[in-house]
Amino acid sequence: MGRFADALAVPGLGAIAEIKRRSPSAGDLRPDADPARIAPAYAAAGAAAISVLVDERFAGSWDDLRAARAATHAPLLAKGFFTTADDLRTAKEAGADAALLLLRDLDDAQVTALTAEAARLGLDTLVEAHTAQELDRGIALGAPVLGVNARDLTTFEIDREAQLELLSRIPADRLAIAESGIHSRAQGAAAELAGADAILVGSALMRATDPAAKLSELLSRPLVKVCGLTREEDVAVASEAGADLLGFVLAPESPRAAEAVLPVPDETLAVAVWVGEAGDSPADLDQVHTVEAGKVRGREATLYRGTEAVARLLDQPWGEQDPEHWTHAARAEGRIVLAGGLGPENVAEAIAAVRPWAVDASSSLETAPGVKDHARVRAYVAAARA
């Protein structure tokens, strides 16, 4: 693998930040976009690689790629509708480290020939699929970097659920990239939990007042969870404040048990909280706590996406305090969701001590079990995201 693939293989969720002036589906996004200014800003904001549209349908050109190359050392992806070896040679000469190959537009023989030519030139390839059939082809052809585009290039419609399902099918020895339709941290996290090594983001960045700042926001951790929600007005306040994960306790013995998982905004993820085993719900994730005799729940839980364990929650013992809780949590490996006594006053300190993947608060944000104090919810989210 080359520089592009190596950058995407770094642990954690990476990002390919895109430079494009317009979109066939959305029209003008940022007509005055200057690759020489945006590319280094993306790199400074944490982009693993930078995608540059070189096709005139996106108001792009090869000069845009050359300008980005002159302005940054970050790996560059040439993005266009490439079908010939000449396209790849032009990409290489313009400074690309990788080139996009669309399975929709290429047969297997063409993909094989173009992949071989790219390797000869020292280019990586991002082989993009939109359907299960295309993904199966990409896997069978041995593509080391596979992208799944949530946008149908014919209808321009976004189907994130289909994208997540396809991402989960990509073998672990390949790099998986979630393309299109990601506008929030939670949507990026959903792709991460489905198996994505990186997200490719364009429109959300190009529409932002500060594209680099938006990129930093999408990649920032920890995620913020507000749990124990029982009322629609509390869901609205938590999501407006910037919470990423919204939790609903479906264990009837809990003092903040909800009757059901309430609808959540598209920019967030719903988490159903259970004790012992998960039941049926429309939630994006299930949080299943261990069982402890005489207590409402055990202090640990596993987060599942479907049947796959994707994160581990570490809490205080029910009704008790463990003074070593943060110390033990800081030593834990994998994606850690830190819970237990967190609130506006201490969440920033907890984050600094533990560096968790997500933080979770519930009872400290209430006026009564299951009834949130809106001012404290806002203060907690603000402190966690500062």
Name residue 49's beta-bridge partners.
16
Count of alpha carbons within 13 angstroms of residue 294, beta-carbon side? 2
The question of whether 346 is a catalytic residue gets the answer no
Euclidean distance between CA atoms 313 and 291, whole angstroms = 14
74 phi and psi angles, rounded to 5 deg: -65, 150
Euclidean distance between CA atoms 112 and 143, whole angstroms = 9
The question of whether 79 is a catalytic residue gets the answer yes
Under DSSP, the state recorded for 151 is: B
Nearest-5° Cα angle at 186, 184 to 188: 75
CB contact at 8 A, 129 and 135: yes
Count of alpha carbons within 13 angstroms of residue 87, beta-carbon side? 20
Number of H helices, E strands in the chain: 14, 20
Q: Supply 199's token pair.
A: 């997200």
Which one of the listed residues 117, 134, 179, 192 is annotated catalytic? 179
Which one of the listed residues 18, 117, 192, 366 is annotated catalytic? 18
Which one of the listed residues 23, 51, 61, 149 is annotated catalytic? 149
Instruction: Identify whether 144 is preceded by a cis peptide bond (ω within 30 of 0).
Output: no
Which one of the listed residues 23, 51, 61, 79 is annotated catalytic? 79
Residue among 118, 169, 141, 124 at smallest CA distance from 8:
124
Which one of the listed residues 20, 92, 214, 372 is annotated catalytic? 20
Which DSSP string corresponds to 58-82?
GT--HHHHHHHHHH--S-EEEES--
Question: What is the signed CA dihedral for 45, 51, 54, 58, rounded to 10 degrees?
Answer: -80
Which one of the listed residues 117, 128, 134, 192 is annotated catalytic? 128
Helical (H) or strand (E) element with 125: strand 124-129
The question of whether 372 is a catalytic residue gets the answer no
The question of whether 180 is a catalytic residue gets the answer yes
The question of whether 18 is a catalytic residue gets the answer yes
354 phi and psi angles, rounded to 5 deg: -105, -30
Which one of the listed residues 180, 203, 239, 281 is annotated catalytic? 180
Under DSSP, the state recorded for 330 is: H
Active site residue ranges: 18, 20, 79, 128, 149, 179-180
